[in-house]
Chain A
Amino acid sequence: MHPVVTLVARRVALGLILLWAASVLIFVGTTILPGDVAQAILGQSATPVSLANLREELGLNEPALTRYLDWMGGVLRGDLGTALTNGEDIATAMGRRLGNTLLLAGVAAAIAVPLALLLGIVAVRFRNRWPDRAISTVTLAAISVPEFLLGYLVIYVLAVQWRVFPSLAAVYDGMGWAETLNAIALPVIVLVLAVLGHMMRMTRAAILNVMQAPYIETAELKGLRPIAVIARHAFPNAVAPVVNVVTINLAFLVVGVVVVEVVFVYPGMGQYLVDHVSKRDVPVVQASGLVFAAVYIGLNLVADVVSILANPRLRHPR
């Protein structure tokens, strides 16, 4: 069998094992949390009888292993259970939220990734001259400002003063595409600014790293234009580290944007998770944890596979 296939298969298997391990950790973590779920749900109005009833109803009297197997069985069948707080089907409610989060992350990534690569290449082309300095300064400044402040700044300027985009990013069913994109414009701007610096710096550093290599000199001596040297010869060899940074940032866009969601009132996964954590809605917390773990592991898997494929020595074994 082709060694690349074996390598990729091994990575996928490892990813699945990791996901399973994460599911155990999530389950154990939410089970050993201090306090009793039934007590947390009933709060002040708890009586011994109602506590016992609720424990029975939630199956809390079963041994932990049985509950874990029940839960995993449900997850494998696509049944994430129902939320304790409002009885909604978790898969449906979370599906909508996850869709929103992926939309926001996707649009932000679609702008941020090409822009970061382009800026990185431009910075290398004009390294240590003013375009390089300007790009570095701006992106580093943007990454250094906390996201919520960046959020308030763009709201103040673009929503309150100039009224170009709406300050609320509330999206809901029945909105057209143009309307949706208009609504999420401000959070997208903030997220792009938040991840741009990291990816751009990595691109720049990785390309600079290979610029010293003999084949770059050869390319220059062939008389290629500098931008072509970078794009055709340097960049493909710098892809592996860049892809890793890009995936970390993509994962951040999916799981780490609670603050941005709050500032722009965006109905994404972050707010959903936080609300349910504060209400001790364990099934939702477990399901969200699993989805976040899957996103991280999946994206890292993609990064690994891309790095493997980007390496000609692995693609063309002797």
Chain B
Amino acid sequence: MNDDLSRLIAQIDAARMGRRAFLNRTAAFGLSAALGTSLMAQDARAQEPRKGGVLRMGIGGGETTDTLDPALADSPVPFNVVRQWGDTLVNVTPDGQIEPRLAESVEGNADGTVWTFGIRQGVKFHDGSDMTVDDVVATMKRHSDENAKSGALGIMQGISDIRADGTNVVFTLATGNADLPFLLSDYHLVIQPKGGVDAPAAAIGTGTYRLTSAEAGVRYAFEKNPNDWDATRGHYDGVEILVINDNTARTSALQSGQVQIVNRVDPKVATLLGRTPGVVVHNVSGRGHYVFIMHTDTAPFDNKDLRLALKYAINRQEMVDKILDGFGGLGNDTPINAAYPLFTPIEQREYDAARAAEHYKASGHDGSPIVLLVADTAFPGAVDAAALFQQSAQAAGIPLEIQRVPDDGYWSDVWNVKPFCASYWGGRPVQDQMYSTAYLSTADWNDTKFRRPDVDALILEARAETDAAKRTDLYDRIGRIVHEDGGTICPMFNDFIDAASDTIAGWVQDPNYEMMGGWASAKTWMA
């Protein structure tokens, strides 16, 4: 924690973080408010939320092709829209705990195969009807149906049976999964009347705000839900989401006071924006990471020494400084960082040209150029990052050749197809989901073609393990194997960078996702 604190103080020095953001962050990782205030001298007592006003948010990442069906939400604007009107059974708190929402209680059996969710009673949908156990079951079944094309289908596939039992909903799993509550916190799984089978895009839910008008790719307007079951949230009379995809337009809308909160601040301008009077930049280190991925079943990347050579030949600190402008954390060639609940540190791999050269020599590679495919869409700054990688590899005598390819078709023709390319992972709420999605032999998105039966066994064992200490140990072992042997070169974890007007109070750092995990409108208020 001392490291964290010194990092925060360094950020203040670098004017990256406003006073309020600093206090919020110190609070977020449990630092006492007393210490925070003594450092900052200024008053930061918790204020009483003030009611009223209309919050306008400028969100980048929406298109005219978006729909209101939560199953199909897959980019920032649909995500934020769903968060306004919908609730999930449970939510993951900023410190990684399960918080009951529409479920009041969550209980699993000893081997994690049967999970019972006690459903909150007396909750009303926006159309006035009562939310029932049947609605919950129907919602979950809709997302399990392949025809619904739900983004949560992968999560639901592990569930073999969903049934109502009094005021409970019981999930039966084919194999045990200690993380089921985390999986069901997925933002697609908002409870809709009759599961939304008849009208998936009606946007009727139990959420903080009720949709009043929607124009895809342009604007969404909401008013306060008068029957909200959670009295502690929803301080605004209404919320407007304006779709602003252009970075400059988004930041200038905030500066000119047209919106009070924006998402996805470009790291290159975040420092400058933070110095603007009346604007606070909120950055939080999340689970998203930028990667260069090698197919471990394709020559020359099937050679462990060559993979290690490339891992030692990348300068992670330089990438964080130059690509993320400091708004991010160092990667360590695993998909897991401290934002995960059961994280255990592994010794940080540093840039070491001598060791890289040593491994390169040991690999017996013929010295022909190693081709790295990259496009801007892989992640912001991917092309520049590849150039930095090429430079640092060259210093170790490794010939890296960058091949720039078009954005169009990158995710269908290059990623998961070509043996060495740049990519991005948004991260998952828990280790199991991250490893199951991308490191299990059988996973579709195993984009490093990493196939080790012992790792598969460890992942499955950890999934069903309900003892936290044993699970932590299992994930530590998986992490070390991936770090050493995997095809993932992970130079950095990117921060979520939002910015808000200083009239907005109550901001909490939430590593789950941008915009306080999507709850910015529900939990902040106008000071």
Contact = CB atoms under 8 A, between A and B. Distances in A.
B64 A271 contact: yes
A276 B258 contact: no
A163 B258 CA distance: 10
B245 A160 contact: no
B151 to A, nearest CB: 10
A166 B149 contact: no
Contacts of A173: 213
Interface residues of A, number: 36
Nearest to A96: B215
B135 interface: no
A156 interface: yes
A242 to B, nearest CB: 35
A296 interface: no
B219 A170 contact: yes
Nearest to B146: A50
B256 interface: yes
Nearest to A100: B218
B95 interface: no
Interface string A255-277: 00000001111010001100110
A170 B253 CA distance: 11
Contacts of A272: 64, 217
Contacts of A86: 65-67, 216
A85 B65 contact: yes
Contacts of A281: 65
A83 B65 contact: yes
Tell me the interface secondary structure of chain B in the complex: loop
A44 B412 contact: yes
B53 interface: no
B219 A172 contact: yes
A86 B149 CA distance: 13
A174 B212 CA distance: 12
Q: Report, as a range, how many residues of chain B touch the other chain.
A: 20 to 34
A262 B408 CA distance: 19
Given A85-B65, A275-B64, A172 B252 contact: no
Nearest to A259: B246
A168 B60 CA distance: 13
Interface string B2-30: 00000000000000000000000000000
Q: Which of A44, A155, A170, A279 gathers most chain B CB within 10 Å?
A: A170
A36 to B, nearest CB: 12
Contact of B246 (A174, A265, A279): A265
A264 B249 CA distance: 7
A172 B220 CA distance: 10
Interface string A226-258: 000000000000000000000000000000000
B239 to A, nearest CB: 15
A43 interface: yes
B248 A152 contact: yes
10 closest A-B pairs by beta carbon, nearest first, are: A85-B65, A267-B218, A159-B256, A86-B67, A275-B63, A275-B64, A167-B256, A167-B252, A160-B255, A160-B256
Given A167-B249, A275-B63, 20 more contacts: A43-B411, A43-B412, A83-B65, A86-B66, A96-B215, A155-B249, A155-B256, A159-B256, A159-B258, A166-B256, A166-B258, A168-B244, A170-B218, A263-B248, A267-B215, A267-B217, A267-B219, A275-B64, A275-B65, A278-B408
Interface of A: 43-45, 83, 85-88, 93, 96-97, 152, 155-156, 159-160, 163, 166-168, 170, 172-174, 262-265, 267, 271-272, 275-276, 278-279, 281
